[in-house]
Amino acid sequence: MLTQALTAVWFYRLFRTADPLAASGIAAFGLVNAVTVLVSAALLATALEVALDPIGDAASTVQLLYLVSGNLWGVGAVFFGLWLLPMGSCVLRSGWMPRPLGWVLVAGGIGYLLSAFLRYLAPDAQVVADALAYPATVGELWIIGYLLAIGVRRRALDQAPRDAGTAAPASTPADR
C-alpha cells in the first residue's frame, strides 16, 4: 500500500512537466489503487481475527469478509487500469522512453478496464479476464525496469518532442 502510494506520487513528479493533467491522473488513480489494497487488507485482517477469536457465526462472517475483499479487487481493477492510461499517454507525449512502452501501458490500461467488467458480465470467462491484465503487467515491469536501468536522461528531456500547445518544462526531473 505504501509503495503504491509513493509510486503514484513519484510518477506525478516525474511526468508533471510533460503533461500536468495526465500526471495528476496517474497520482489520483494510483492513490485510489492504494486505498483499494488498504481496504482489502483490512477486510482480510478482520476475517483472520474473527477466525481466530470467533464471534457469532464466525464461518459465515469470515467467508463474507473474504468475498468482499475479493470483489473489491475485482472492481478495483477499474482504477488499476485507469492509472495506466495517463501513464502511457505521458510516455508517448514526453518522448523520454520508448514509444512501444507507452502503447503497452495504454493497452494494459484498456485490458484492465475490460477485465473488470468481464469478471461480472461473463463469470465463466475468468481465464480471458486474467489474460487481459497481462499487458498491464508487462508495461508496469517494463517502465520500472527502464527507469531503474536507464532512467530519464537529460538528453532525452532536452530533445523531447512537444505537442502543439504544450509548454516546455520550466525544470526537468534531471535538474532536481
User: Cell numbers 495526465 correspond to what residue?
Assistant: 22
Does residue 174 lie within any of the structural domains?
no
**Residue 116, all three cell numbers:** 473488470
Higher pLDDT, 153 or 15: 15
pLDDT at 173 over 70: no
**Residue 20, all three cell numbers:** 500536468
Question: ∠ at Cα 144 (21, 88), nearest 5°?
Answer: 35
The structure's pTM equals 0.76
**Is 88 in contact with 153 (CB distance < 8 Å)?**
no
Does residue 21 lie within any of the structural domains?
yes
| Residue 137 DSSP SS3 | helix
pLDDT at 148 over 60: yes
Does residue 167 lie within any of the structural domains?
no
97 vs 91: CA distance, rounded Å: 6
Does residue 76 lie within any of the structural domains?
yes
**Domains identified in the chain, total number:** 1
Q: Which residues constitute the domain of residue 103?
A: 2-162
Does residue 126 lie within any of the structural domains?
yes
Centre a 10 Å sphere on the Cβ of residue 144 and count the other Cβ atoms it contains: 11
Q: Please tell me the number of Cα atoms within 13 Å of 55 on its side-chain side.
A: 7
Does residue 119 lie within any of the structural domains?
yes
Centre a 10 Å sphere on the Cβ of residue 175 and count the other Cβ atoms it contains: 10
Confidence of residue 174 (pLDDT cuts 50, 70, 90): very low
What's the pLDDT at 157?
53
